């Protein structure tokens, strides 16, 4: 795979370089120069393939020039070791459950795949030089990255999270692993954490001494695996084209879907479903892109005011809004609408939506009822297990919900965090002394 930067079309770098750089030095995001199509036989036989079969075929097509088939198989076996089932909710409305990984959010796909890919390249480099990965998190990303890199040789992970501003479950998921995972509890906000990580990457001494690498959501290693489960959806519902509603914040998940469509997946429309942070739906409506400060909602993993993958979305369509509008419909919902639909879907169909999946369900069902499109299967993405938000869900439903075993386990572990002040000097001192 050859990649260019969204700020420099003529830059041409390898997958390995893009993976370890994260962001291009010109500030742009990496994108493949060419997205190949899958052949008709693949789609004809798709119902016979498992998730891992599909992952293998998609990865061979995208990055088979960089990594041998044998090694790709090992990477996929290690990274994608959980299912993503499609279930019927009612009529032609289906859910794709993306929360069966170790941290119970869809971010496990991206984080685990990136971890396996980095580990593969590090082993081939034939040195014992370890790398240090710094991540700032407001919750879900940190736990997926921690789980993905846990116990990997030569990779140390330092996670910065804002003290008392992540949920108890998220904090337990972040802080209890130990070994190569260090959790820094920052006396400040998520913005402080993000700023401190950015400053670390600008510090020559740290970069040289520690071999710093980022693992944030714009890394190409996280984008590639996020196209795989869109194909797997079609393999479970192979007879009709799809309309897919994606609960979106930074738009990495939807970017994966667009790659799948470009590779030939029959998707009639994507719905970009958001909470009231509706920067992209508003752009689709008005043609004006105006990022702004984010507002807190109960679908908090989508509280994003400056969607970092927007530039990729736009690039996929040569920055032509007419083309974007042909494929993507925008919808946004308030917290009250989210609460109401969680209650309704539970009482009518006995399915517990999480707040993010609820946004996607609303976007899908509203669009289908307004547009009179027939002969499609409608799919919305459930990006997190509802138990991750048990306080909100239990108060909405008025009853207790069952905790998955892995969450029960995380809740019982000892918290291991190190308190650090919210300034870069304190972070640097910690990193150089550890
Ligand atoms: C991160 C996240 C999202 C948003 O995904 P993007 O790729 O940033 O659009 C949605 N739901 C959950 C549960 C998440 O953790």
User: What are the DSSP calls for 269-329, one per residue?
Assistant: EEEEEESS--HHHHHHHHS----------SSGGG--SS-TTHHHHHHHTTT-HHHHHHHEE
Q: How far is the CA of 12 from the centre of ligand 1 (A)?
A: 29
- Residue 332, domain member (yes or no): yes
Q: Are 209 and 344 in contact (CB under 8 A)?
A: no
- Residue 99, domain member (yes or no): yes
- Residue 295, domain member (yes or no): yes
Query: What is the number of domains present in the chain?
Result: 1
- Residue 312, domain member (yes or no): yes
Residue to substitute in 109, 140, 220 for testing ligand 1 pocket (most ligand atoms within 8 angstroms of CB): 140
Each residue's pLDDT tens digit, 377-418: 999 999 999 999 999 999 999 999 999 998 999 899 999 999
State which residues form the domain around 299.
85-107+223-397
Query: Rounded mean pLDDT of the chain?
Result: 94
- Residue 97, domain member (yes or no): yes
What band does 112 get if pLDDT is binned at 50, 70 and 90?
Answer: very high
Question: CB under 8 Å to 71, separation ≥6 — which residues?
Answer: 120
What band does 140 get if pLDDT is binned at 50, 70 and 90?
Answer: confident
What is the pTM (predicted TM-score) of this model? 0.95
Q: Are 253 and 218 in contact (CB under 8 A)?
A: no
Q: What proportion of the chain, given as a percentage, has pLDDT over 70?
A: 100
Each residue's pLDDT tens digit, 332-347: 999 999 999 999 999 9
Q: How far is the CA of 129 from the centre of ligand 1 (A)?
A: 33
Ligand 1 within 6 A of CB of 103:
no
SS3 183: strand
- Residue 35, domain member (yes or no): no
| Range from 48-62, 164-178, 353-367 carrying the lowest mean pLDDT | 164-178
Q: What is the CATH number of the domain that holds 319?
A: 3.40.50.1100
- Residue 12, domain member (yes or no): no
Query: Which residue in this structure is represented by tokens 């992970």?
Result: 157
Rounded to 5°, angle at Cα 415 from 413 and 420? 165
Q: Cα(231)–Cα(265) distance, rounded to whole angstroms? A: 7
Please give the helix or strand (H or E) that residue 267 lies within, else none.
strand 267-274
Phi, psi of 244 (to 5 degrees): -125, 125
Buried b (16+ CB within 10 A) or exposed e, 14-53: ebbebbbbbbbeeebbbbbeebeebeeebbeebeebebbb
- Residue 294, domain member (yes or no): yes
Each residue's pLDDT tens digit, 160-190: 999 988 888 889 999 999 999 999 999 998 8
């Amino acid at each position: 795979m050859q990649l260019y930067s969204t700020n420099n079309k003529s830059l041409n770098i390898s997958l390995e370089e893009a993976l370890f750089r994260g962001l291009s030095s010109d500030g742009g995001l990496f994108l493949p120069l060419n997205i190949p199509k899958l052949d008709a036989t693949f789609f004809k036989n798709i119902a016979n393939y498992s998730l891992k079969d599909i992952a293998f075929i998609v990865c061979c097509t995208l990055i088979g020039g960089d990594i041998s088939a044998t090694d790709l198989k090992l990477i996929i076996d290690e990274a994608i070791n959980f299912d993503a089932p499609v279930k019927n909710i009612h009529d032609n409305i289906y859910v794709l459950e993306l929360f069966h990984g170790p941290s119970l959010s869809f971010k496990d796909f991206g984080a685990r795949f990136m971890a396996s890919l980095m580990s593969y390249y590090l082993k081939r480099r034939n040195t014992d030089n370890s790398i240090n990965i710094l991540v700032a998190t407001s919750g879900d990303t940190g736990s997926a990255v921690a789980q993905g890199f846990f116990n990997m040789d030569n990779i140390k992970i330092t996670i910065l999270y804002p003290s008392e501003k992540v949920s108890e479950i998220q904090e337990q998921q972040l802080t209890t692993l130990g070994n190569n995972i260090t959790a820094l509890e920052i006396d400040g906000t998520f913005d402080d954490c993000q700023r401190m990580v950015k400053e670390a990457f600008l510090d020559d001494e740290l970069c040289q001494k520690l071999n710093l690498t980022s693992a944030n959501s714009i890394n190409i290693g996280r984008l590639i695996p996020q196209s795989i489960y869109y194909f797997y959806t079609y393999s479970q519902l192979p007879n009709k084209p799809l309309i897919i509603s994606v609960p979106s914040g930074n738009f990495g998940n939807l970017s994966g879907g667009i790659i799948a469509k470009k590779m030939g997946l029959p998707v009639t429309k994507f719905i970009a479903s958001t909470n009231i942070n509706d920067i992209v739906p508003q752009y689709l409506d008005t043609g004006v892109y105006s990022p702004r400060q984010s507002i807190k909602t109960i679908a908090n993993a989508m509280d994003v005011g400056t969607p970092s993958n927007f530039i990729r979305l736009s690039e996929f369509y040569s920055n032509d809004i007419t083309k974007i509008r042909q494929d993507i419909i925008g919808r946004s919902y308030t917290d009250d609408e989210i609460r109401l639909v969680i209650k309704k879907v539970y009482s009518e169909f006995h399915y517990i939506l999480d707040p993010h999946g609820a946004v996607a369900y609303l976007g899908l069902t509203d669009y289908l009822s307004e547009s009179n499109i027939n002969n499609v299967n409608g799919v919305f993405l459930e990006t997190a297990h509802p138990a991750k938000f048990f306080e909100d869900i239990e108060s909405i439903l008025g009853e207790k919900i069952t905790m998955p075993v892995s969450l029960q386990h995380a809740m019982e572990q000892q918290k291991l965090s190190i308190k650090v002040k919210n300034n870069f000097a304190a972070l640097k001192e910690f990193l150089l002394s550890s």
